[in-house]
Amino acid sequence: MDFSALPQEELEQIIERIAREMLAEGLRTPAGRDVAICSCHGCGSSACPDTLARGFDAGADRIGIEQKLPAAAAHLAARIDHTLLKPDATYTQLDQLCAEARDFHFATVCVNPVNVRRCARLLAGTRTKVCSVVGFPLGATMADAKSYETRRVIGEGACEVDMVIHVGALKSGDDDAVRRDIAAVADACRDGGAILKVILECCLLNDDEKVRGCKLSVAAGADFVKTSTGFSTGGATVADVALMRRAVGRAVGVKAAGGIRDLATAQAMQSAGADRIGASASVKIVNEVAGAR
């Protein structure tokens, strides 16, 4: 947020609120030490309104806050791909996505290819990686085009790639075409040291097709299988996650994505076998764990 244009009274109110919220959340310094309590306001010294005000007076437009999450919330956050794949996503929204990912230590931000470079720059030096999508959202793209797109997003800074399979080929029983399609992207990921997640788009498949898609993904070199793009007729279901986990065993991970908007749903997906959650409501979900609804 740009504070420079705010009236002084409003700025003082924001500073005071930030200070109190930092104290209430039990924040720690970046080095991990407990925040010292100041004598003037009874809050963390780094959150003292006077200290914050001096920072703004010196020309700061933003402040950085490292949040201390409860262990359960941190554990879940580390397994979430914080997602923004809307075609109209603005730079401001992407910047906010990355700021939230830094604060909550999400596993990745998942963004469209054109936004990888920006997000990689914003997240440089943090534990959060950048994930991008390939052949998205239909999967109806040539295998060599998917391979090229994969190499490009890795070159831009993506460490994980979520590709959409050739759904029509799978439904037609052309398993060789599906395997080649996945393998083309898997080879590019292996060359670039990136993790590959294969999106099956389960809402378009019957159970037999889901199982075949899982097994073909494993055979072709996938690191994860994923339920959905979130852009088709349905998202993740507990039944699909459980089926996919049975199909792949422990050989690869399972990512549940699409329609996961609350803690109860995220936990149900994890209980069914999901190792990773894709969500745009990530902050809300983690805050439910932390009790900050």
Terminal alpha carbon distance of the chain:
22
pLDDT in tens, 121-179: 999 999 999 999 999 999 999 999 999 999 999 999 999 999 999 999 999 999 999 99
pLDDT at 69: 75
Say which CATH topology domain 71-290 has. Answer: TIM Barrel (3.20.20)
Q: What tokens does 142 get?
A: 């040539």
User: What is the gyration radius of the CA atoms in the chain, in angstroms?
Assistant: 21
pLDDT at 31: 34
125 residue type, one letter = G
Q: Which of 166, 230, 170 shows the shortest CA–CA distance to 203? A: 230
Query: Contact 84/91 with Cβ under 8 angstroms?
Result: no
pLDDT in tens, 89-117: 999 999 999 999 999 999 999 999 999 99
> pTM value?
0.78
Within 13 Å, how many C-alpha atoms sit on residue 279's CB side? Answer: 28
pLDDT at 27: 43
Cα 248 from Cα 241, distance rounded (Å): 11
pLDDT at 26: 43
Region(s) of the chain under CATH 3.20.20.70 = 71-290
3-state secondary structure labels for all residues of 194-256? CEEEEECCHHHCCHHHHHHHHHHHHHHCCCEEECCCCCCCCCCCHHHHHHHHHHHCCCCEEEE
pLDDT in tens, 230-276: 999 999 999 999 999 999 999 899 999 999 999 999 999 999 999 99
pLDDT of residue 25 exceeding 70, the answer is: no
Instruction: Please state, rounded to an integer, the average pLDDT across all residues of the chain.
Output: 86
Q: Which residues are marked as active site?
A: 162, 226, 255
